[in-house]
Amino acid sequence: MGWPLAVSAGLMERSPRALVSALGPLAAGHLLAMLLVILPFALLVTIVEWQRQIQLSASLLVIAFGIFRLASRSHPRALARIPPTQLGLWSFAVAIAHGAGLMLVPIYLGLCREDSLDRGHAAAGTLINANLAMAVLVAIVHATAMIAAGGCLAWLVYRYLGLKFVSRSWFNLDTAWAVSLILVGAIALVLSLAE
């Protein structure tokens, strides 16, 4: 969701270079937020005797965060206009607040069962559980894909569609995000309790 800030940076500076330069701090903040969440869980996988308790706690944490996002619909006014010098901090804070790293936790903790996964998810689970370097690589690939998609969208709005298009067509994804977190957490909790 950082692409509107990239558009804003381009419009404030009246330069496509400002839009492109905004993508770096946005990607860095998102990557750091995911690593902050993912790396501790990747390290905890080695503690086998606590796996069930960790699975239950992670499931409840994802559900609680989803419920919190459903109940708390407001965004702080301070987030309405972010200067280009604070884009990395903004990206980090929003990625943490929206649970960017949390969506990979079920794979790390084995909550996604190999027999119920398609081949792609099964392969991802095997790779992620392989080592810590793979956890970092997964986070880098995710952040790269996120910034490429967001950068393309920001460029499209900045160059061709304009702010009128965004203001007329904007919709709030917070509800869909919150419901998906609750759903994933509930599924993970049911699977953990079924063991």
- H, E, C per residue of 17-66: HHHHHHHHHHHHHHHHHHHHHHHHHHHHCCCHHHHHHHHHHHHHHHHHHH
* Per-residue tens of pLDDT for the chain, all 195 residues: 778 888 888 888 899 999 999 999 999 988 888 888 788 777 766 666 677 787 888 889 888 988 988 888 776 566 567 777 788 887 887 777 666 666 666 655 555 555 555 666 666 666 556 666 777 777 788 789 888 998 998 899 888 888 777 777 666 667 777 888 889 889 888 888 887
Quote the domain boundaries for residue 187. 3-194
- CA distances 113 to 20, 24, 48, Å, are 40, 35, 17
Q: What is the pLDDT of residue 153?
A: 87
Location of structure tokens 């936790």: 105
Query: What pLDDT is stored for residue 57 in this prediction?
Result: 87
The number of domains in the chain is 1
Q: Please tell me the predicted confidence (pLDDT) of residue 16.
A: 92
* CA–CA dist 108, 188 (Å, integer): 12
Task: Let me know if 160 is exposed, middle or buried by CB neighbors in 10 A (0-12, 13-18, 19+).
Answer: exposed
The answer for residues whose C-beta is within 8 angstroms of residue 23's C-beta and 6 or more apart is: 6, 147, 150, 151, 154
What pLDDT is attached to residue 41? 72
Taking alpha carbons only, the member of 58, 28, 53, 56 closest to residue 41 is 58
Q: How far apart are CA 28 and CA 89, in angstroms?
A: 9
